[in-house]
Structures are given as structure tokens and as C-alpha cells.
Amino acid sequence: MPYIADLHLHSIYAYATSKSLTLENLARWAKIKGIDLLASADFTHPAWFTELNQKLIPNGGGLYQLDGVHFVLGTEVSCVYKQGGRQRRVHILLFAPDLATVARLNQALSRHGNLKSDGRPTLTMSVRDLTALTLEINPNCIVLPAHAWTPWYGVFGSKSGFDSLEECFLDMSPAINAIETGLSSDPEINWAVRDLSDKTLVSFSDAHSLPKLAREVTAFQGPLTYQGLAQALAQNEVAYTVEFYPEKGKYHYDGHRKCGVCQPPAEIPIQAKPCPVCGKPLTLGVLNRALLLSEGKVNGTRGGDGFVQSTEGRAPFIRLVPLQEIISEVLGQSPNTKKVQSVYFKVIEEVGSELQVLINANHHDLAGASGERIAQAIIQVRAGNIKVEPGYDGVFGKVSIASADLLRSETQTAEMDQSVMA
């Protein structure tokens, strides 16, 4: 049976994150969301590393446990350097098989940046040198490009990235078996990219708060061990991924936030377009950038279960909207309100984890726990019946349920929902 992993997230020590991101809360919310394996996050930060040592219990397979949830030792770092006459900024995910390796790695990385400043530290070293150093310390470590298409910080980013993995990693490129596609792209966008035909495509949440966990996850085949994870990444043993609608990502389309300009890629993609308002170059969106590096287009086909299947045998995926956001839209209230939270946790308690609710739960169980309107909305999202306003230049896109009639309750369904929340 596949296990669900979210391997890109952050702790209380990373910049612009919630103060609720403690290890205990991460373990609790992993169960709420339906996650089997979490990254520890931010293992380079000295204070967080101390907590990892004190609280995580090794399970003998290269993973760790807390309150019944499995953790792999992982972190994100930011490499800022010059290569090819340009400044490069590339975010990388690192994973290690044990705390002793992390200690040695942290000592080595501390010579290239201030590890105390941020849970995701900035390192003045190339991605190539980071990879070589990491694998020299322990060849069982895993190096993975984070959110590969983000304009300023992705390995393929339009602002500071590269046109191929080999151009970035140089002689260390054979060590890179997988990439994280990021919130603004999904597998279908990546399938036709010439440099990724033999790479494993994975998706994780990049959560900066607890409710954002599992907005993207990867279901891996094989044993739930460190070596099992390494093998799954190296040999493309992915059962499926769960995807944020890429249009909702904040860099999906070309655009200029200051002028409120958002544009889809031209019929023939180009590197740069001027803003029609101010004339400055638009920020090239992920979709446009991916098309520039693609060979044609590989289409997927959506099945009745909501999963998109590749025509070339790649791992399937499903696009979903977080449950709190669905409930929020149906009720017309913020996700953080007591009413939305009450319905959310009632559904989780009665039906199962959030991923179970969104992917597998039947209409009858959903309606019994949440009311007919919310149940129908979940089914609509699962089927892909949504409206999308794409994100651009740092502005998140907006996804809404397509059937407006559904969201305007009839008297009967409104009464039903009120009884649920009473």
C-alpha cells in the first residue's frame, strides 16, 4: 500500500512561518491531514536541531517517530551565487539518514552561511558544490531541487535559474533523480519538458502554517524506510501525487503585480514581454517558462475518479482544493472562523483524514458529516468542476467551485447545514 509523504515544510524557526509549527503540532496535524511521512524541516537551524535530537525517536530504518508519525530528516537551503555571468538563487531540499550526518553537514554548511538566521538559510555556494559536499559527507543523503519553476528561486526559474539540470549541477547532475514541481505547476506541465523525461516528479506543500500541510503530497510505493524513500525517488516509484491547482500558484501566468497585469503565454512562448501599462518586463510565469523548455505537449486524460492519467505511463495525479477552503466558500466565511473550523473537524472526526475526505469518501458519508451543500462541493472539486483565476507575479490565483447554484442554498439544504453546525 502506498504511503503519503509531505517532505517540504517549515518550522517555527523559518522566516514568515506560524509560531504553531512545533514538532508536536506537526505530528498532530499529519494525522488530521492523512500524512504518513513528514520531513523534519529546517534541520540546519541550531535550536531546531536540538529539538530534533531531544524529541524524535529513531525507528531503525533511517526514519524517526513522534506520536506515531514518521519523520525523515530534511531541510531547505537557499544557494545564492554567480554562475555563467549571472546571479543565481536556487532553493534545494536536503535529506539525511541520521542525526550524526546532519550534525556533520551543519558544521560544514556553517562555513558558507549563518545557520541561526533562518530555518531556510542562505548559503554562498553553488548548487553543484552543495551537492558534492552533501554527498561527500554521506553518499546516502538526498538532494532535490525545490519548487523547480519559481521565477526567482527555482532551478528552472526565469529570473535566476537554468535551462537544464546539467547546466546547474554540472558534473553532479547524475545525482539528481527527482524534482519538486511546486505549487504553480503540476505533472502535466512537466511531462513534456525535455530535461525531465527520466526524472521523478514529486509534489509537497511547502507549508508555512499547519493548515497548509498536505495541500500537495506524494504517494510513494515501497517500504516506509529511508532507503525505501531514496529508492522511490531514484526509480520513479510514485503511485500518485495530489496537486494544488497550478493556476492558484502565485507565479502561474506572466504578469506585473504593480500594474495588475496578468497574461497567459503567447501561442508561441517568448522569454520576455513588456508590461502594457508601464513597459517594464513582465515576470515570466511558470507555464510560459515550462513551455519554452518543452518539446510539444503531453496531455493527460481525467478519469471518473478525478485522477489524470499520462498517455506515456507517468504517475497519475489529482488536483484538489483544501477542505477548509471548500467549506469556507460554501459557508461564505473565512477559513479561520469558528463555524468553518467546527464543520472541518466534525468531518475529519466522522469521515477520516482530510485526504480521505477529498479523494475517497462517498457522498453519503460526506453529507452526513457536513451537510448536502458541502458534500456536493467536495464531489464537484474532485470532478474538476471549478473556476480559476490564475496567479501571477507573486499574486495567488483564485479557485472557486463552478456551480454557483450549488453555493446558493435552497431552504432544505440550508436547514440541513444548520443542524450539522448546531
Which cell goes with 310?
Answer: 499520462
User: What values do phi and psi take at 160, rounded to 5?
Assistant: -145, 15
Give the per-residue pLDDT at 407: 54
Segment 13-25 shows an average pLDDT of 97
Segment 268-274 shows an average pLDDT of 77
Nearest to residue 76, comparing CAs of 152, 188, 149, 153? 153
- What is the per-residue pLDDT across 194-242, written as a single tens digit (0 to 9) for each? 899 999 999 999 999 999 999 999 999 999 999 999 999 999 999 999 9
pTM: 0.94
Which cell goes with 385?
Answer: 468542476
For residues 283 and 270, give the distance between their C-alpha atoms in angstroms, rounded to a whole number: 12
Nearest to residue 269, comparing CAs of 256, 257, 253? 253
- What is the per-residue pLDDT across 230-270, written as a single tens digit (0 to 9) for each? 999 999 999 999 999 999 999 999 999 999 999 998 766 77
| Residue 396 neighbours by CB distance under 10 Å | 17
Task: Identify whether the C-beta of residue 211 lies closer than 8 Å to the C-beta of residue 324.
Answer: yes
CA separation, residue 383 to residues 307, 339, 362, 376 (Å):
9, 26, 13, 11
Nearest to residue 200, comparing CAs of 189, 213, 190, 215? 190
Task: Identify whether the C-beta of residue 290 lies closer than 8 Å to the C-beta of residue 185.
Answer: yes
CA separation, residue 121 to residues 48, 79, 197, 339 (Å):
13, 9, 31, 38
For residues 331 and 327, give the distance between their C-alpha atoms in angstroms, rounded to a whole number: 6
Segment 283-312 shows an average pLDDT of 88
pLDDT at 190 over 90: yes
Which cell goes with 144?
Answer: 532535490
For residues 393 and 81, give the distance between their C-alpha atoms in angstroms, rounded to a whole number: 23
Strand partners of residue 263: 254
The distance of Cα 10 from the centroid of its chain, to the nearest Å, equals 12
Give the per-residue pLDDT at 413: 46
Segment 26-48 shows an average pLDDT of 98
Task: Identify whether the C-beta of residue 155 lies closer than 8 Å to the C-beta of residue 199.
Answer: no
So what CATH class is 3-248? Answer: alpha beta
pLDDT at 417 over 60: no
DSSP string, 182-202: -TT--HHHHTTBGGGTTSEEE
Segment 162-181 shows an average pLDDT of 98
For residues 372 and 231, give the distance between their C-alpha atoms in angstroms, rounded to a whole number: 43
Segment 340-367 shows an average pLDDT of 97
For residues 111 and 274, give the distance between their C-alpha atoms in angstroms, rounded to a whole number: 41
pLDDT at 410 over 90: no
- What is the per-residue pLDDT across 112-142, written as a single tens digit (0 to 9) for each? 999 999 999 999 999 999 999 999 999 999 9
Mean pLDDT taken over the chain: 93
Task: Identify whether the C-beta of residue 328 lies closer than 8 Å to the C-beta of residue 196.
Answer: no
Task: Identify whether the C-beta of residue 285 lies closer than 8 Å to the C-beta of residue 255.
Answer: yes
For residues 124 and 109, give the distance between their C-alpha atoms in angstroms, rounded to a whole number: 10
Crossing angle for the helix pair 46-55 and 99-109, to the nearest 10 degrees: 170
User: What values do phi and psi take at 316, rounded to 5?
Assistant: -75, 170
For the chain, what are the domain ranges? 3-248, 322-421
- What is the per-residue pLDDT across 376-404, written as a single tens digit (0 to 9) for each? 999 999 998 999 999 999 999 998 986 54
* Percent of the chain predicted with pLDDT > 70: 94
